[in-house]
Amino acid sequence: MNGPPSNDIPSMASLRILFRPSTAFVAPLFLGIAFWLLPLHSGTAGYIERAPLTVPGLLVLCSFYLAIYSGSRIARRLFRLPEEYRFTPRPRLELAFYFTVSAASTIGALASWDSILSSGLSLKAVFAAREGNEFKSALYSQYSYLFSLRYMAPVSGAMAFLFLLGGRFRRWTPLHYLNAFVLLSTAFISSRMALVQAIYYFAGASIVGSHPPQLKSKHIIVALLVMAILLTAMTYVRNANSYEREFGITSPIEMLFLQIRRYLSTPVQVSLGVSSYATKDRAAFSLPGWKYPLLPTFLHDSSRKTDNSGGVWAQWYLGLVDFDPRLTTNSSFVELYGDIRYWTIPFIFAVSFVWTGIAGVVARDDSRIVVHFVIVYHFAELWRNFHFNNGNFILQFTGCAFALLVSSWVVNSVLRLRTTHPT
């Protein structure tokens, strides 16, 4: 078993709890609660009046989160998955996998930007008007599945950060920088979560991997500052006009804070409101329709994709709780409850059980460690959004699985050739 990472940050080992399927959602959930408790001001939080706290509603929500935790923990025990990660070093496979996902993300990003620029959209005009959403609108006007390969950028970007900071595969340093650029170019297509995903994958692999980068406290501070600057710039380009018009906010830093608050506090607001409603819902135990929770979002009806975001639909809970209807990522509990009512709790238990088992099997060697955190990240999002049938997640996971198969075939073929025809 590998020893603890050799970083100079004493609490690094204790951070592992943030990167386990059973507890990954806890920290962001409490962060959302903290934002929900901040003073309200003219609807800037995404709602004007807080949802009431009721004991029955809280019990429903606690049951939902307990189902995630218990499903994950039971899977770990049943499949005898170790509490600590054990790795088999396979550098050839790791490098081949890196090449494959790098090629996929680069092709996707290039194809996406080629389509955007070919549409006649002026980059100068978009930046001057601070209407960054026009990038995504132009892309989806003539969409090709080839563009979806850009969703592999968080995987290749995270691996690039690991190799750059870990000093590994130095001869491929230009490729590392190319992947960092591909990640940023993808994030600018109204996909800021790609940057967040890459940082999460990198952080998880840094903490539990067998080749942890020699991170120091100053590295963490610099990385957080750079990420804050990038997110501030992207938020300003995308939302400046609407925030100035609606809230009179002109500072880019205030805009970023407002965006984070709205995105994190609204799921808490909606969860509390709908959970209270659920305790009085006469149809709560009715036979559910499983179509939408089980089908990938790219197979959902067009009515569920109102803004090209792969599964966003008109909220069924409008009128049950106060919130800005333009905010659409408003709790996985609420999303599932709208389709399957109280079957949501056993369903999320089963989902947590299955995907924890898959995540544990994946975490067996360094070539797959980033893929492991592709799964764990979506456990971290589970308080806010159900991603396990989301097109983004399905493409990342199946893309990584395909890349591993191709990489294994290439590596094994090369080894057989060397054995058959030694030099």
Q: Cα separation of 3 and 139, whole Å?
A: 46
Q: Cα separation of 383 and 333, whole Å?
A: 7
Amino acid in the structure at residue 342: Y
pLDDT in tens, 365-382: 666 788 889 999 999 999
**Residue 108: per-residue pLDDT:** 95
**Residue 6: per-residue pLDDT:** 46
What is the number of structural domains in the chain? 1
Least-confidence region, from 32-41, 78-87, 119-128, 190-199: 78-87
Least-confidence region, from 17-31, 181-195, 210-224: 210-224
Q: How far is CA 180 from CA 105, 123, 153, 292, in A?
A: 11, 21, 8, 35
Mean pLDDT (whole number) for 1-30? 71
Q: Is residue 4 part of a domain?
A: no
Residue 346 predicted with pLDDT over 90: yes
Residue owning tokens 């059980």: 353
321, β-bridge pairs: 318
At 216, the pLDDT band (50, 70, 90 cuts) reads low
Q: Is residue 2 part of a domain?
A: no
Q: Cα separation of 24 and 383, whole Å?
A: 10
**Residue 197: per-residue pLDDT:** 94
**Residue 82: per-residue pLDDT:** 60
Residue 416 predicted with pLDDT over 70: yes
Q: Are 356 and 75 in contact (CB under 8 A)?
A: yes
* Per-position DSSP letters for 196-221, written without gaps between them: HHHHHHHHHHHHHSSS-----HHHHH
pLDDT in tens, 34-93: 999 998 877 788 889 999 999 999 999 999 999 999 999 999 888 766 655 555 667 888
Q: Is residue 224 part of a domain?
A: yes
At 11, the pLDDT band (50, 70, 90 cuts) reads low
Residue 224 predicted with pLDDT over 50: yes
Range of the domain at 264: 10-420
**Residue 376: per-residue pLDDT:** 94
Backbone region of residue 151 per phi and psi (left: phi > 0; alpha: psi in -120 to 50; beta: other values): alpha
pLDDT in tens, 300-327: 877 666 554 444 556 888 888 999 888 8
H helix intervals, 248-290:
252-278
Q: How many CA atoms lie within 13 A of 38 on its CB side?
A: 22
Q: Cα separation of 88 and 162, whole Å?
A: 17
Smallest CA-to-CA distance from 105 within 191, 161, 185, 174 is with: 185
Mean pLDDT (whole number) for 169-182? 91
**Residue 237: per-residue pLDDT:** 79
Handedness of CA 186, 188, 194, 198 (dihedral sign): positive
User: What's phi and psi for 321, nearest 5 deg?
Assistant: -150, 150
Q: Is residue 245 part of a domain?
A: yes
Q: How many CA atoms lie within 13 A of 319 on its CB side?
A: 2
What percentage of the chain has pLDDT greater than the value 70?
84
* Averaged pLDDT of the chain: 84
Q: Is residue 219 part of a domain?
A: yes
H helix intervals, 142-251:
153-166, 173-187, 192-208, 217-247
Mean pLDDT (whole number) for 267-288? 83
Q: Is residue 3 part of a domain?
A: no
Q: Is residue 25 part of a domain?
A: yes
Higher pLDDT, 389 or 290: 389
Residue 122 predicted with pLDDT over 50: yes
Residue 390 predicted with pLDDT over 70: yes
Residue 123 predicted with pLDDT over 70: yes
Q: Is residue 1 part of a domain?
A: no
